[in-house]
Amino acid sequence: MVLRLSTLFLRTLRDDPADAEVASHRLLVRAGYIRRAAPGIYSWLPLGLKVLAKVEAVIREEMEEIGAQEVHFPALLPKEPYEATNRWTEYGDGIFRLQDRKGADYLLAPTHEEMFTLLVKDLYTSYKDLPVRLFQIQTKYRDEARPRAGLLRGREFIMKDSYSFDIDDEALEESYQLHRAAYVRIFERLGLEIIPVTATAGAMGGSKSEEFLHPTPIGEDTFVRSAGGYTANVEAVSTVVPAALDFTTAPAAEVHDTPDTPTISTLVDHANAAAPRDDRAWTAADTLKNVVLAARLPTGEREILVVGVPGDRAVDLKRIEATIAGHLGSGGEVAVETATEEDLAKHPGLVKGYIGPGLSLEDPVLGADATTGLRYLVDPRVVSGTAWITGANQPGRHVFGLIAGRDFGWDGTIEAVEVREGDEAPDGSGPLIAARGIEMGHIFQLGRKYAEALGLKVLDRNGKLTTVTMGSYGVGVTRAIAALAESNHDDRGIIWPRNVAPADVHLVATGKGTEVYEAAEKLAAELESDGLTVLYDDRPKVSPGVKFGDAELIGVPTIVVVGRGLAEGVIEVRDRRTGEAQNVAVDETAAFLRRLTAH
Ligand code: ATP
Ligand code: MG
């Protein structure tokens, strides 16, 4: 195919779009791949569609390779299936809802677990029908709170989503591993560096889950890795739990007057001045900080709870959100925020700045919560026998030497604090270092949550009805394009990996005479007949500078120049990435380019 710049529907732009914060967004707009229609919503131009088709083709091939079959669902869906799984409510403001002329509720699908589950339920009845793996490449809609960075976080975006249906856990594991391997191949073929990290299953209700992160400083996800090969999303990092301590000889706790010590640092200073230790100074790590949080349940309820963490660590709300639902007995996603003044006012037992674990010292019954009546969760470092300086639930007073498991109990343990560089990896593979990434794909053992909610059962070997177990697997197709542009550009433009470039060759004819155009036409035709896609700059009255500028902006990895050299019988072949140029004899150019672009 030859795409002629004289007629191609394209206008490259000299100026950056005003709303673009990242390079990929700027360059994809300036080079004429996409145009903004509304915040987080983009139109695709001819060059953009070429790239999109290539990315989709790679994904489609790898899905078919693992036996997944392509289907296509509508984006506009009725409310009922999403009500059956409670996601109509759980998604909150995150989805676009609409009504038809009769007032019936619909939504624009943010993901399609419900529809796939119902489709299989409609048609399949027996274990003999399984396993089945289905996928689609489809437009999704999410009313993201902060659409950003062009295609990276859109409100309309394309996702490849697939779903596996299996008779038992072992078969699900196989479907999962097949997808995992397919994802590794997809990103390898796209030329996108990926780190699979352990993720939390979260509200989707499943067990095993991994995210495929592309490391980039503009990523919104923080992940950690160790020298020994451990990788995880920070939300999934579990703390190395210290051994419980023997407290039989520990002295009794003492309440101290600690006026004007509402913060950890004022408290530590006070402790070192008023009650110094012999062996070392008190530090923030000796204090137990009790933070009051408000959890918003999918039902709309608001529960106030207290979380106890070592005073040298900051609370990480996202880490708490990853597992809090289980503690509160909620099947859906729970949002957590710090409690407001209003929340605190409703619980006069909570003395701001002096909040304790909530258990009366006179009546140290494990697990009870005599003072506040609120749920009390602790960081895993708060193990039995550890001694703490913590609030006494009285203004201006703290208690010293309060022993976990002797003087106070808790309702549960939760990963509640930030992961820090230098923390030990949970698998003992060394200290953690942190990096940023963006999630390109996600694989997930859903288990039976959706099949149960929607009644997907088949007859097993013994003729008994059994609930099917499912996996769900997503790749952000349009996000992948943004990530590719982000990680493959310089100050002049994009530099596409060959597998996804909109053309194999960007052919530029420069010069006044007709000879260069004739030679370029001939070369374009030859390459076309070899099956290559040629972006041919045949514009007669455009200066060489503009042509080269456009070629570098658009980012086809090989730029071919038919110009001054023609008189000496050569054509110049430039590498967009390195800028290196070489002259190739006119007659040999087509064969040379065929070899160069073979993939
Ligand atoms: P994120 O944490 O980035 O919001 P997610 O956890 O919501 O992602 P999934 O629901 O697992 O994502 O969706 C599967 C894939 O779809 C993601 O791995 C990502 O590549 C892509 N994706 C999700 N949200 C968006 C979006 N707003 N714009 C573009 N791609 C997206
Ligand atoms: Mg999201």
Point out which residues pair with 69 in neighbouring strands.
Answer: 134
Say if domain 254-413 classifies as CATH 3.90.960.10.
Answer: yes
Q: Which protein residue's CA is at the shortest distance from atom 8 of ligand 1? A: 439
Does 371 score more than 90 pLDDT? no
What is the mean pLDDT of the segment spanning 126-154?
95
Q: Which protein residue's CA is at the shortest distance from atom 14 of ligand 1? A: 474
Does 342 score more than 60 pLDDT? yes
How many whole angstroms separate alpha carbon 65 and alpha carbon 256? Answer: 69
What is the pLDDT at residue 392? 86
List the single range of 123-137, 198-212, 238-252, 565-579 with lowest mean pLDDT.
198-212
The verdict on the CB of residue 555 being under 6 Å from ligand 1 is no
Q: How confident is the model at residue 365 (pLDDT cuts 50, 70, 90)?
A: very low
Does 108 score more than 50 pLDDT? yes
3-237+433-486 sits in which CATH class? Answer: alpha beta
What is the pLDDT at residue 233? 87
Q: Among all ligands shown, which has an atom nearest to the Cα of 143?
A: 1
Residues 6+ apart with CB under 8 A from 424: 240, 430, 431, 432
Let me know: does 74 contact 140? Beta carbons within 8 Å: no
Q: How many helices (H) and strands (E) does the chain have?
A: 14, 32
How many whole angstroms separate alpha carbon 181 and alpha carbon 198? Answer: 15
What is the pLDDT at residue 368? 41
Does 593 score more than 50 pLDDT? yes
Pocket test for ligand 1, best of 24, 183, 195, 479 (most atoms within 8 A of CB): 479
Q: Among all ligands shown, which has an atom nearest to the Cα of 203?
A: 1
Residue 276 is which amino acid? P
Does the global pTM surpass 0.85? no
Q: Report percent pLDDT > 90 for the chain.
A: 80
Give the H/E segment covering residue 254: strand 254-257
Ramachandran sector of residue 597 (left: φ over 0; alpha: ψ -120 to 50; beta: rest): alpha
pLDDT in tens, 461-517: 999 999 999 999 999 999 999 999 999 999 999 999 999 999 999 999 998 889 999
The verdict on the CB of residue 474 being under 6 Å from ligand 1 is yes
The verdict on the CB of residue 154 being under 6 Å from ligand 1 is yes
What is the mean pLDDT of the segment spanning 343-352?
86
Q: Among all ligands shown, which has an atom nearest to the Cα of 186?
A: 1
Let me know: does 454 contact 83? Beta carbons within 8 Å: no
The verdict on the CB of residue 142 being under 6 Å from ligand 1 is yes
How many whole angstroms separate alpha carbon 118 and alpha carbon 474? Answer: 19
Q: What spacing in Å lies between the alpha carbon of 94 and ligand 1's midpoint?
A: 12
**Among 215, 196, 161, 187, residue whose Cα is nearest residue 500:** 187
The verdict on the CB of residue 476 being under 6 Å from ligand 1 is yes
Q: Among all ligands shown, which has an atom nearest to the Cα of 94?
A: 2
Q: Which protein residue's CA is at the shortest distance from atom 16 of ligand 1? A: 476
Going through 143-184 in order, the beta strands assigned E by DSSP cover 156-166
Q: Among all ligands shown, which has an atom nearest to the Cα of 110?
A: 1
Does 447 score more than 60 pLDDT? yes
Q: Is 306 exposed, middle or buried (0-12, 13-18, 19+ CB in 10 A)?
A: buried
Let me know: does 535 contact 502? Beta carbons within 8 Å: yes
The verdict on the CB of residue 87 being under 6 Å from ligand 1 is no
Does 49 score more than 90 pLDDT? yes
Q: Which protein residue's CA is at the shortest distance from atom 24 of ligand 1? A: 153
How many whole angstroms separate alpha carbon 245 and alpha carbon 102? Answer: 66
Q: What spacing in Å lies between the alpha carbon of 155 and ligand 1's midpoint?
A: 10
pLDDT in tens, 400-442: 999 999 888 898 999 999 999 999 999 999 999 999 999 999 9
The verdict on the CB of residue 489 being under 6 Å from ligand 1 is no
The verdict on the CB of residue 179 being under 6 Å from ligand 1 is no
Q: What spacing in Å lies between the alpha carbon of 439 and ligand 2's midpoint?
A: 9
Q: Among all ligands shown, which has an atom nearest to the Cα of 87?
A: 1
Q: Who wins on pLDDT, 573 or 223?
A: 573
Does 363 score more than 60 pLDDT? no
Q: What spacing in Å lies between the alpha carbon of 141 and ligand 1's midpoint?
A: 11
Q: What spacing in Å lies between the alpha carbon of 79 and ligand 1's midpoint?
A: 22
Domain extent listing, the chain = 3-237+433-486, 254-413, 503-597
What is the mean pLDDT of the segment spanning 583-595?
96
Characterize the bridge pairing of strands 375-378 and 231-233.
Answer: unpaired
Q: Is 117 exposed, middle or buried (0-12, 13-18, 19+ CB in 10 A)?
A: buried
Distance of CA 150 to CAs 49, 181, 433, 438, 482, Å?
16, 29, 29, 14, 8
534 phi, psi to nearest 5 deg = -115, 125
Q: Which protein residue's CA is at the shortest distance from atom 23 of ligand 1? A: 476
What is the pLDDT at residue 206? 55
Does 245 score more than 50 pLDDT? yes
Let me know: does 556 contact 500? Beta carbons within 8 Å: no
What is the mean pLDDT of the segment spanning 210-227?
92
Q: How confident is the model at residue 599 (pLDDT cuts 50, 70, 90)?
A: low
The verdict on the CB of residue 440 being under 6 Å from ligand 1 is yes
Does 356 score more than 90 pLDDT? no
Does 367 score more than 60 pLDDT? no
Q: How confident is the model at residue 297 (pLDDT cuts 50, 70, 90)?
A: confident
What is the mean pLDDT of the segment spanning 90-97?
91
What is the pLDDT at residue 160? 98
Does 579 score more than 90 pLDDT? yes
Sign of the Cα pseudo-torsion (408, 413, 418, 424, in order): positive
The verdict on the CB of residue 439 being under 6 Å from ligand 1 is yes
What is the pLDDT at residue 201? 57
What is the mean pLDDT of the segment spanning 181-200?
94
What is the mean pLDDT of the segment spanning 178-202?
91
**Among 431, 30, 435, residue whose Cα is nearest residue 193:** 435
> Domain spanning 503-597 has what CATH number?
3.40.50.800
Does 283 score more than 50 pLDDT? yes
What is the pLDDT at residue 348? 78
The verdict on the CB of residue 409 being under 6 Å from ligand 1 is no
Point out which residues pair with 195 in neighbouring strands.
Answer: 213
Q: Among all ligands shown, which has an atom nearest to the Cα of 322?
A: 1
| Count of CB atoms situated within 10 Å of the CB of 67 | 12
What is the mean pLDDT of the segment spanning 326-340?
87
89 phi, psi to nearest 5 deg = -85, -45
The verdict on the CB of residue 59 being under 6 Å from ligand 1 is no
Pocket test for ligand 1, best of 442, 446, 486 (most atoms within 8 A of CB): 442
What is the pLDDT at residue 352? 87
What is the pLDDT at residue 357? 86
How many whole angstroms separate alpha carbon 52 and alpha carbon 36? Answer: 16
Q: Which protein residue's CA is at the shortest distance from atom 5 of ligand 1? A: 439
What is the mean pLDDT of the segment spanning 132-138?
98
Q: Which protein residue's CA is at the shortest distance from atom 3 of ligand 1? A: 439
What is the mean pLDDT of the segment spanning 52-72?
98
